[in-house]
Amino acid sequence: MIYFEQTAQRFFDYRTTILLLLLLVNSLQAGIASEITMGKFRGAIPSEKPDWFKESFLEFEDDVAEAAAAGRRVMLYFHQDSCPYCSRLIEENFTDHEIKAYIIKHFDGISLNLWGDREVVSVGGRDFTEKTFAAALKVQYTPTLVFLDETGKVALRLNGYYPPADFRAALDYVAQKLERKLSFSQYRLDKLASVNGKLINEDFFLDQVDLGKLVSGTNKPLAVYFESPDCAECKTMHERILTDKATRKLVLQANNVQINVASQQRLITPAGEQTSARQWAQDLGIDYTPSLIFFDSQGNEVMRIGAFMKTFHFQSVYAYVLEKAYLEEPEFQRYISARADHIREAGFDTDIWGYDSFHD
């Protein structure tokens, strides 16, 4: 009898100890969770479309016809709330006296919210909302500007923010209807190729002219940096973005190659085609430097950076490619929104408009 009582007592003591340990663990977890505060969200900058934009019913066949009758073309402007790149377009480009006057003379600007629900009727009569229209056009960045010709076809598309000089070159190209003679890439590369000088090197750039070897038989994506000599924005990328520790941690998980868009150096593309650096840049539609194009293990393009960008979005593109998130989430803006939330939930600040990382 005493044996059974002692056994029962030991079982009771054991069970009590386990319960106390579980309570302690739960308490510690709750304490840790309570100490992790939500990181701050920084860099969002609200902006308003210019008051000289057209008040459109978003029936684009009518808009195109009205613009053509007045000797102008339609410029569609995709934006989203608190987008700092949109704000810079408004504050630096659209408020520039010369650029503003040039746009008013040659274009009818129409504003579209990337997530908006206003009804849109495309050229051809298809019905959309603003957000489904943006999705149909695969708008990945804001601002995105789509210029339509007199028949409603796309004359030029700018994916992201272009600084004033680059933006003015785009306006000239469309206003002069040069798309009938040459591509915008050729138009821009002709100028970029005339500049002499060396590119800024990085220790992670691979010295390889057969890019097919960098995609086959590896799980690493290939990132190709298209740059030009004496390029101010290239210098900014190297000095302000690629020096960031968190950025480099992501970059080193890919194979990275640098291409001089002014060079006639021979190379083999990820698809196995022999060409020159200059011709490949033109074939890919490179019209801004620096531009980055990412390729998967089959040599297919999966993502690109083709406009001005700061650290958070630069990192997010690399993360998007490295995680192969494009296979599940085709809308990059949704991906980066979720990524910012995850970083903040871990207690780190997120700055979408700075050059410094607030997380590691």
Q: From the CB of residue 118, how many other CB atoms can be counted at a distance below 10 Å?
A: 14
Q: Which residue has the tokens 């009518």?
A: 62
Q: Over the stretch 278-290, which tens digit does the pLDDT of each residue have?
A: 999 999 999 999 9
The DSSP H or E segment spanning 199 is none
* Residue 17: per-residue pLDDT: 44
* Residue 35: per-residue pLDDT: 62
Confidence category of residue 5, pLDDT binned at 50, 70, 90: very low
Report yes or no: 41 and 353 within 8 Å, Cβ to Cβ.
Answer: no
Whether residue 3 has pLDDT greater than 70: no
Strand pairing partners for 41?
A: 350
Q: What does the domain layout of the chain look like in residue ranges?
A: 60-181, 211-351
Domains 60-181 and 211-351 share a fold: yes
Confidence category of residue 356, pLDDT binned at 50, 70, 90: confident
* Residue 338: per-residue pLDDT: 97
| Fold (topology level) of 211-351 | Glutaredoxin (3.40.30)
pTM over 0.75: yes
Q: Over the stretch 296-347, which tens digit does the pLDDT of each residue have?
A: 999 999 999 999 999 999 999 999 999 999 999 999 999 999 999 999 999 9
* Residue 9: per-residue pLDDT: 45
Q: How far is CA 53 from CA 6, 91, 116, 290, in A?
A: 87, 15, 17, 30
* Residue 96: per-residue pLDDT: 97
- Supply the mean pLDDT for the chain: 91
Q: Over the stretch 118-162, which tens digit does the pLDDT of each residue have?
A: 999 999 999 999 999 999 999 999 999 999 999 999 999 999 999
| Fold (topology level) of 60-181 | Glutaredoxin (3.40.30)
Q: Over the stretch 17-41, which tens digit does the pLDDT of each residue have?
A: 444 444 444 544 544 444 679 999 9
Report yes or no: 320 and 141 within 8 Å, Cβ to Cβ.
Answer: no
Residue 122, amino acid = S
